[in-house]
Amino acid sequence: MTTHHITFTINGAQEEALVTSHITLLAFLRERLGLTGTKNGCATGECGACTVLLDGEPVNACLVLAAEIDGADVITIEGLAHDGELEPLQQAFIDHTGTQCGFCTPGILISARALLNRNPDPTEDDIKDALRGNLCRCTGYQRIINAVQDAAKAGG
Amino acid sequence: MPAPTDVNIPAPSTLAMPSPGLPPFDYLCPDDPDEVVALLLQHGRSARLLMGGTDLFVQMRDGALAPRVVIDVKRLPGMRELSFDPADGLHVGAAVNMNALAAAPAVQQFYPLLAQAVASVASYQLRTRATMGGNLCNGSPAADTAPAALVLDAQCVVWGPDGERTIPANNFFLGVRKTALQPGEFLTRMEFPVPPTGYAGRYIKLGRNAGGDLAIVGVAVLGYPETSAASGYRFRFALASVAPTPIRVPEAEALLAEQPITSGLLSQAALAAEDAATPINDLRGSARYRKAMVRNLTRRALDDVWNQLQAEG
Amino acid sequence: MSTTTTNPTRPVGDSVKRIDALEKVTGEALFADDLQFGPGLLFGRIVRSPHPHALIKHIDTSRALAMPGVKAVVTGADTPKQIGLYLKDRHIFCRERTRYVGDPVAGVVATSEEIAEAACKLVEVEYEVLEPVLDPLRGMAPDAPLIHPDLGNYEVPNFIFPKAGTNISNHFKIRKGDPDAAWALCDAIVEDEFRVPHVQHVPIEPHVAVAKMDQRGEITLWTSSQSPFAQRNLIAEALGLSQSSVRVIAPFVGGGFGCKAGVTMEALAVVMAQKVPGYAVKLRLTREEEFFTTFVRQGLIARTKIGATADGKIQAMQTEYFWDAGAYTEYGVNITRASGYSSTGPYEIPNVRADSYCVYTNHPVGGAFRGFGMPEIHWGIEQIVDMLAEAIGMDKAEFRLKNCIRTGSIIATGSTMHPVGLVECIKQATAAIHWGTEERASAPHKRRGKGLAIMWKAPAMPPNAGSSASVRFNEDATVTVSVGGQEIGQGAFTVAAQMAAAALGVPYEWVRVEGPIDTQYNPYEWQTVASRLTWSMGNAVMAAAKDARRQVLDLAAEHWGEDVDHLDIKDGMVISYRSEEAMPLKKMVVYGLPKPAGQGWRGGPIIGHGSFMPSYVTGLDPETGQGPRSVVHYTTGCQAVDLEVDTITGQVTILRIAAAFDVGKAINPDQVRAQIEGGAVQGASTALFEGFQLKNGKLANHSFVDYRIATSVDVPFEIIPIIIEVPQDDGPWGARGIGEHSMVPTAPAIANAVADAIGVRVLELPITAEKLYLALEAQADGMPV
């Protein structure tokens, strides 16, 4: 079992760490960095609760090795709000009741953030498709979709 | 009333279950392809290549794979490059991720069938990591990008102990989880020739739900005008998830080349596809349903392609 | 108890934003696995039975114990007493016998999850494999192997009736009128069998528990829980401890739907922690374990016969329910009871016979799942009613309107129905999908159909399940509400804050609700189940707020020398309607008010207390199931579905679901609509995709790869939520529950619409594309479908 020295940015801050080869990015974020906003729901890339941005693109952190993020930029849910100011997306989720139990919410917000980054004016079908890798068992999705549409109108 | 099942099947003394995390291994990130070859030869079956990891890590957690060495090849030269040349066609590095592949302007413009197949895979965040190269190398009968590779006549370029060689996609799949890769070899890129002029294509995937399921059935159809064919057209068919490997359907292809195309002939081609399918019963669907779906969805894809060709013509 | 009319209603009735939304959109909301315990934290993993039914002949833990990093190994030898919510039928770790694939046999505690997992493989267990029972009908047979040979000796409450020497853990009966005589009067009789497979709740947060025992033997348990108090009680009893020696701390729950109620895996963590005093031990389930080692929705075989006269009046109904309850019955015995007394569905039927059997099998443990038996029984009820309407030749909505319960109806238990708005629900839901109007399908190969289903459900709980709350002021007159009910996503904390604000007369924004729920500090709540919080906990919050309000007004009255009846609290100000005096609550609610001329002070920190427990639910006769008041209340509703079936693939596309529910009073209309929408999608997901594939007791589809649930691209094009408000006499502001009800009628409504579209009746869930396609093929071949 090899160990690896990695340098990366996390939510804008430069960090370094020594990691074993088989620790996933998800476990590294939650257990080493204490960034528990990213959730563990299945460990197989199916539920999307662990979605984070890796170099600007969403990934399932459960299927990425911590050793692979050497030189990369990682954004988690904790990195969305700045200086106490919520992102329009976050506000839209509050306004539209886009969250119930809240466990899937961080992953969904990251997927939605990534969508608006690549497509600032998505259709309803675009939004549904971008979120199909994020399982939610509470809301029935429509309020989440409405929230993303609203945030897009507000300039994302 | 079905009879109660009270048969005792001998069971193991422990319950094999996926582990919470990944088992330990050495993670290596070589920067020279020959080093990869050497590692593969040295470690044999206890080495696995890593590109997106979306299949590898799941199988490792399940205990289906337990490599001592995981070799990350996505940073090797060319592995993440994509290029298009009007004469040479499309070259896709094996580790180009699926989202990058589907978003490439050349793919959108000249190979929309490929973009359709990719878009049917799992979810956007999974496709940020998943690669078409990995999808092909897994050797899964259900691989969504395989039918597209087959009907687009892709060539698989591999690097190995004897340097580079090319394997046509049509010869790449040997069995469930078995490919034509030899010991020490690994896939470096896929090459797609310039598609036939005036072609139309369609990939239809049927899952249990719409949200990126594994295919119960996947059907790719590609058609193009061809003066050398008696019918004036040639078609290519490929199927996923209904045989030990993704397959072409030469019987249906011959049928549509040899006779004038009518609605009845399209139906016959769909029946030929059904005949070619040898699916199994599994959790996703029965063999009987799968065969029927091969027929119906081949017909649906074929109608769509035929309409496009008519509209073009 | 009467509803409050003197208090201002606001913010009750307003769609205020969720009180927990900000924490949840920033990732700051803490769930059990997010709590930090430092580097001394130990991890547990579980050795599980690979056999559905076996005797444990020998366990050797020595190799596991010898592994570096392993701190302890626990087995059934460490858990002599039995545990169970109603029927105490299981050991925390198996002792002589294992009863399902996944039954916990041993637990390993180690310095890491990885070491614990590896050491589990070194625990050697020798089994003698027994014949398993894999079907409830087989389990009922006289020669079936006995899964619980000691059933007759188990501790059980007086409303559950296990049959010693059988696999039947409860048999509930309804005998009303004379169905046998009534059949002769009927002009149409329909009879059929309906089946429901096991399904799983699929909370996105898997179960997790962290337990620690200190050197005094006191236990603390941090866990994702709908039932902190029930867990405290059951675990304390099973371990021979005082309830005050077990402390349960429950942060936000990442989805419950019933699977985090009662005691599942939490007790495993506690027993493991007892072996390593001073250390916290974390046990978290993998997604795969989540699928079959926690509670699942029970399987059901329902046989129903129903008849009506030519005028469209239902005359008789006879039902047998065979519940595939699995290895143990934490909730199953009471689901059996609830399904028995609700077996007629929301219909007034003079002649009823029902037999509901809870049958042990060697399947995963049955439990409560959103609706507590009601989605399962309505699957058959609402289809057979449709079939009967067809046989009589009546419109299906009209048939239901003719037979459904109304205010004052006599229901199956002989009880009288309280005020109910079901008729209005049916009218509004059907109107919303243009019932009776044929509409074109979107393509030639598609068939369009409409269907409806109605429902009822009562909170199924012990008759004396109680709630309590406290309301206390802070210096600036902000309010802290303390409850024992849990926020599981349903909005319980939000409505608690709304109710407290309304009863006190302060703005909603001034109110906080304490979390996590901590049994050491928070007041008692039976459990967060049965859609009972808005109603039961709401009554307690309202009482606590009124208590605090009375203290404020008494103080102000004394201060001003006025009659308390002339005073009120509005927007955080105490006002007098007579003298037009006004003063802010700020400071006075903690520091009191000065007496004149420096004579001292009066008042003091204000804290209000409130409790609620229904006192009027009566027992039912064990032979007839008859009694004056069987339940506290029923929530009723109707869903109407408009869909298309693709005849080429068999796939169903839901175009619209209109869903109307009588919630008594919507404390927060937006949250009610959110429950109605979410329930419809969960219901549609179970209807179209979900079901356990059990092979010799082992779950074949134990992951998201093969257990599909609805995603964002699978949802209906449109959901139309409709709120009906016929007030509940004993509910706060007239409210009754809505959390579970929203998914109860979905599956049969879809099945009825499918039957309307293509003439295919699906009797066994789920309604897969494959089933419909093969039925269409058989139909085309002229075969019966």
Give the residue from C562, C595, C612 where a domain finishes: C612
Query: What whole-number distance in Å separates Cα of residue C303 and Cα of residue C320?
Result: 5
C113-125: buried (b, 16+ CB within 10 Å) or exposed (e) per residue? bbbbbbbbbbbbb
Using an 8 Å Cβ cutoff, are A30 and A23 in contact?
no
Using an 8 Å Cβ cutoff, are B104 and B190 in contact?
no
Maximum mean pLDDT: which of C156-160, C282-286, C462-466: C282-286
Does C469 lie in the same domain as C444? Answer: no
Does C648 lie in the same domain as C718? Answer: yes
What is the predicted pLDDT for the residue at B16?
84
CB contact under 8 Å between A94 and C205, yes or no, is no
Does C411 lie in the same domain as C351? Answer: yes
Residue C181 lies in a domain: no
Does C395 lie in the same domain as C255? Answer: no
CATH number at residue C681: 3.30.365.10
- Report which secondary-structure segment, H or E, holds C656: strand C652-662
Does C643 lie in the same domain as C756? Answer: yes
The CA distance from C292 to the nearest CA of chain B, in Å, is 12
Domain that holds residue C703: 296-461+619-780
Using an 8 Å Cβ cutoff, are C723 and C666 in contact?
yes
Query: Which residues does C357 contact at the CB level (< 8 Å), separation at least 6?
Result: C136, C140, C168, C170, C171, C320, C321, C322, C323, C336
Query: What whole-number distance in Å separates Cα of residue B43 and Cα of residue B36?
Result: 11
Tokens of B239: 């199927």
A54 — contact with chain B (CB < 8 Å)? yes
Residue C4 lies in a domain: no
Centroid of chain to Cα A67: 19
A71 CB-contact burial (10 Å; exposed 0-12 / middle 13-18 / buried 19+): exposed
Complex ipTM over 0.90 = yes
Return the SS3 of C751. helix
Return the SS3 of C348. coil
Residue C14 lies in a domain: no
- Which domains are present in chain A? 3-78 (3.10.20.30), 88-153 (1.10.150.120)
| C-alpha dist (Å) from residue C236 to A120, B25, C158 | 55, 43, 22
Query: What whole-number distance in Å separates Cα of residue C785 and Cα of residue C782?
Result: 9
Among residues C463, C416, C413, C461, the alpha carbon closest in space to that of C624 is found at C413
What single letter denotes the amino acid at residue B203?
Answer: Y
User: Which subunits sit against C, judged by 3+ Cβ pairs under 8 A?
Assistant: A, B
The CA distance from A51 to the nearest CA of chain C, in Å, is 12
- By Cβ distance, the residue of B1, B14, B24 closest to C50 is B14
Tokens of C145: 């192997």
The DSSP secondary structure of B130-153, one letter per residue, reads -BHHHHHHTT-TT-THHHHHHHTT
C571-584, pLDDT tens digit by residue?
A: 999 999 999 999 99
Could you give the percent of chain C with pLDDT greater than 90?
A: 97
CA-based nearest residue in chain A for residue C27: A37
Check residues A33 and C5 and name the one with the higher pLDDT.
Answer: A33
What is the predicted pLDDT for the residue at B190?
98
Number of structural domains (chain C) is 3
What single letter denotes the amino acid at residue C464?
Answer: N
Query: What whole-number distance in Å separates Cα of residue B222 and Cα of residue B200?
Result: 6
User: What's the CATH code, domain B82-192?
Assistant: 3.30.465.10
Does C453 lie in the same domain as C562? Answer: no
CB contact under 8 Å between C204 and A101, yes or no, is yes
Rounded to 10°, the helix C746-758/C374-392 angle is: 30
Does C664 lie in the same domain as C606? Answer: no
Does C408 lie in the same domain as C474? Answer: no
CB contact under 8 Å between A63 and B99, yes or no, is no
- Report which secondary-structure segment, H or E, holds B89: strand B89-93
Q: Label residue C5 by pLDDT band (50, 70, 90).
A: very low
Q: Are strands C582-584 and C593-594 parallel, antiparallel or unpaired?
A: unpaired
CB contact under 8 Å between A139 and C206, yes or no, is no
C178-202, pLDDT tens digit by residue?
A: 999 999 999 999 999 999 999 999 9
Does C457 lie in the same domain as C323? Answer: yes
Among residues C537, C555, C559, C556, the alpha carbon closest in space to that of C603 is found at C555
The DSSP secondary structure of B104-135, one letter per residue, reads -HHHHHH-HHHHHHHHTSS-HHHHTT-BHHHH
Give the residue from C284, C310, C329 where a domain finishes: C284
Of B2-16, C255-269, C287-301, C335-349, give the lowest mean pLDDT range: B2-16
φ/ψ of A23, rounded to 5, equals: -80, 130
Position of tokens 């709540």?
A: C525
The CA distance from A150 to the nearest CA of chain C, in Å, is 16
What single letter denotes the amino acid at residue C33?
Answer: D
Q: Label residue C8 by pLDDT band (50, 70, 90).
A: low
Could you give the percent of chain C with pLDDT greater than 70?
A: 99
Q: Label residue C7 by pLDDT band (50, 70, 90).
A: very low
Residue C704 lies in a domain: yes
Give the residue from C567, C586, C612 where a domain finishes: C612
A118 CB-contact burial (10 Å; exposed 0-12 / middle 13-18 / buried 19+): middle
Query: What whole-number distance in Å separates Cα of residue A10 and Cα of residue C281?
Result: 30
CA-based nearest residue in chain A for residue C720: A142
Model pTM above 0.95: yes
Tokens of C610: 């409130």
Residue C428 lies in a domain: yes
Query: Which residues does B162 contact at the CB level (< 8 Å), separation at least 6?
Result: none
Among residues A27, A22, A150, A17, the alpha carbon closest in space to that of A72 is found at A17
Which of C712, C713, C738, C743 is the best residue to mutate to test the A interface, defined by the most A CB atoms within 10 Å of its own CB? C712
- By Cβ distance, the residue of A21, A23, A133 closest to B125 is A133
A11 — contact with chain C (CB < 8 Å)? no
CB contact under 8 Å between C48 and B17, yes or no, is yes
C676-692, pLDDT tens digit by residue?
A: 999 999 999 999 999 99
Does C369 lie in the same domain as C389? Answer: yes
Homologous superfamily in CATH for domain B200-312: CO dehydrogenase flavoprotein, C-terminal domain (3.30.390.50)
What is the predicted pLDDT for the residue at B312?
78
Domain B13-72 indexed as CATH 3.20.20.70: no
What is the predicted pLDDT for the residue at B6?
39
**Cβ within 8 Å of B, C 60-119:** 101-102, 113-114, 117
A125 — contact with chain B (CB < 8 Å)? no
C61 CB-contact burial (10 Å; exposed 0-12 / middle 13-18 / buried 19+): buried
Tokens of C53: 């039914």
Using an 8 Å Cβ cutoff, are C737 and C364 in contact?
no
Q: Using a CB-CB distance cutoff of 8 angstroms, which residues of chain B are in contact with residue A48?
A: 123, 125
- Radius of gyration (C-alpha) of chain A in whole angstroms: 15
Query: What whole-number distance in Å separates Cα of residue B36 and Cα of residue B31?
Result: 8
CA angle in degrees (0–180, nearest 5) for C225-C299-C144: 115
| C-alpha dist (Å) from residue C372 to C197, C259, C377, C466 | 15, 11, 10, 19
E strands of C36-76, at which residues?
42-48, 54-60, 70-75
Mean pLDDT of chain C: 96
Q: Using a CB-CB distance cutoff of 8 angstroms, which residues of chain C are in contact with residue B21?
A: 113-114
- By Cβ distance, the residue of B27, B54, B210 closest to A65 is B27
φ/ψ of B230, rounded to 5, equals: -60, -35
CATH number at residue C235: 3.90.1170.50
pLDDT at C784 over 80: no
What is the predicted pLDDT for the residue at B11?
45
Write out chain B's pLDDT in tens, 313 residues: 333 443 444 445 678 899 999 999 999 999 999 999 999 999 999 999 999 999 999 999 999 999 999 999 999 999 999 999 999 999 999 999 999 999 999 999 999 999 999 999 999 999 999 999 999 999 999 999 999 999 999 999 999 999 999 999 999 999 999 999 999 999 999 999 999 999 999 999 999 999 889 999 999 999 999 999 999 999 999 999 999 999 999 999 999 999 999 999 999 999 999 999 999 999 999 999 999 999 999 999 999 999 999 997 6
Q: Are strands B26-28 and B69-72 parallel, antiparallel or unpaired?
A: parallel
Does C700 lie in the same domain as C578? Answer: no
The CA distance from C412 to the nearest CA of chain A, in Å, is 33
**Mean pLDDT on C515-528:** 97
The CA distance from B235 to the nearest CA of chain C, in Å, is 22
The domain spans of chain B are: 13-72, 82-192, 200-312
Does C650 lie in the same domain as C593? Answer: no
Using an 8 Å Cβ cutoff, are C627 and C177 in contact?
no
Position of tokens 């329902």?
A: C302
CB atoms within 10 A of CB C529: 29
pLDDT at C39 over 70: yes
pLDDT at C783 over 90: no
Among residues C656, C625, C661, the alpha carbon closest in space to that of C643 is found at C656
Query: What whole-number distance in Å separates Cα of residue B296 and Cα of residue B300?
Result: 6
What is the predicted pLDDT for the residue at C2?
40
The CA distance from B183 to the nearest CA of chain A, in Å, is 24
pLDDT at C515 over 60: yes
For chain B, the 3-state helix, strand and coil shares in percent, each to the nearest 5, are 35, 25, 40
Residue C147 lies in a domain: no
B166 CB-contact burial (10 Å; exposed 0-12 / middle 13-18 / buried 19+): exposed
A9-48, pLDDT tens digit by residue?
A: 999 999 999 999 999 999 999 999 999 999 999 999 999 9
| C-alpha dist (Å) from residue B246 to B207, C701, C753 | 16, 24, 37
CA angle in degrees (0–180, nearest 5) for C420-C422-C426: 165
